[in-house]
Amino acid sequence: MNEIINLMKHELLLSVILFLLLIIKIGSNEENSSRWHVMVNVLLLINLIVGVCCNVTGELFNGMFLSNDLIHLEKSILNLGLLIISLQSHPYTRNHRHAPEFYILLLSSVLGMFFMLSSGHLLLFYIGLELSTIPLAALANFNLNKSASSEAGMKMIMSSAFSSALLLMGISMMYGTTGSLTFSEITLQLTGAPLQVFAFVMLFVGFAFKLSIVPFHLWTADVYEGAPVSVAAFLSVISKSAIAFVFVTVLFTVFESMLNVWYILLFITAVFTIGIGNLFALRQQNIKRFLAFSSIAQVGFILVGISGGSQESQASVIYFFIDLHLFQLRSIWSSEHCFFHHRKRKYQ
């Protein structure tokens, strides 16, 4: 029992916070969004501090759940990003009557990302992927009085369903050729057979939809435009971070022997993703659509880092996302500083 608590610390902490918020929501008639915001931020700060301390490595459930120093670092980065998004969302949630549901959906999505990061089995990976994606569709449709938000939620569901179907096809073919869904056993059974290459391509396309890699990016701009600003920021930073971390892990640990296959795919898609993302960003008049194409271009640079095929390239991807989270934190600090400076001048 102690081993489960130590290895699944991040997931258990987030689950406790989720159940606590649900119980408070059910047992309280108070609709004070500001109080919810303060309470959630305090809980997320505690979650971040506890998540950084006293981490242990190991595996559970016959290698289905993995935990190591790199995974703990990635989860801590996501915890930091979650706290930043929660701080950033206060101007939006303080006037929204469904603020508790907003935070519950946000935390549920991150919980799924944690299971994805620790997955050593394709089944656990897929369950974590769906747990992280379904709440995002509800969050994209959180502006209930806007038709663009409903359109964003619908496109999010349709694109997620299509990409999940491709992933399942790749997973089933991989199981058929290797006889296992465990990452460590799949690695031993890879021979480079045509069916295995096709299964890997299906898996790659599923990841490409989630990461908005060109030409699988067509849903991104419409979803970002219809979603609330905080949700668009969550999609562009937190969601992309989690998928990229898992993508790197799968490439470097499971499909390392197929380097000659995925290097070509990464090279071609990176060139088109950087070019199309930047060119389409130049002509955008809507700031959220601009953010969408900017995030697509950033994914192209991430693919360039991954294509190095070394431990240094993996470190560069992690450093990129750490810098991205810190930049987001600096932007929140700057906006709050400007706000208070404006209020001070106003009352002077």
In the predicted model, is pLDDT for residue 246 greater than 50? yes
Segment 150-170, tens digit of pLDDT = 888 888 888 888 888 888 888
Percent of the chain scoring above 90 in pLDDT:
0
Domain count, the chain: 1
Residue of 155, 284, 303 lying closest to 240 (CA atoms): 303
* Structural domain containing residue 330: 2-347
Which of 15-19, 84-88, 132-136, 319-323 bottoms out in mean pLDDT, i.e. has the lowest? Answer: 319-323
Read off the pLDDT band of 332 (50, 70, 90). very low
Give the residue-averaged pLDDT of 160-181. Answer: 88
The predicted structure's pLDDT at residue 26 = 78
Q: What is the mean pLDDT of residues 203-217?
A: 87
More confident residue, 280 or 93: 280
Identify the band that residue 9 occupies on the pLDDT scale cut at 50, 70 and 90: confident
Per-residue b or e along 208-225, where b marks 16 or more CB atoms closer than 10 Å to that residue's CB: bbbbbbbebbebbbbbbb
For the chain, give the percent of residues with pLDDT over 70: 89
Distance CA 179, CA 173 (A): 10
Q: Of the candidates 130, 128, 150, 132, which has an alpha carbon nearest to the alpha carbon of residue 141?
A: 150
* 323 has pLDDT over 80: no
Q: Is the pLDDT of residue 346 over 50?
A: no
Distance from C-alpha of 274 to C-alpha of 188, rounded to nearest angstrom? 34
Task: Note the pTM of the prediction, 2 decimals.
Answer: 0.85
Element counts in the chain: helices (H) and strands (E)? 16, 2
What is the pLDDT at residue 34?
65
Least confident range of 33-47, 192-206, 307-321, 333-347: 333-347
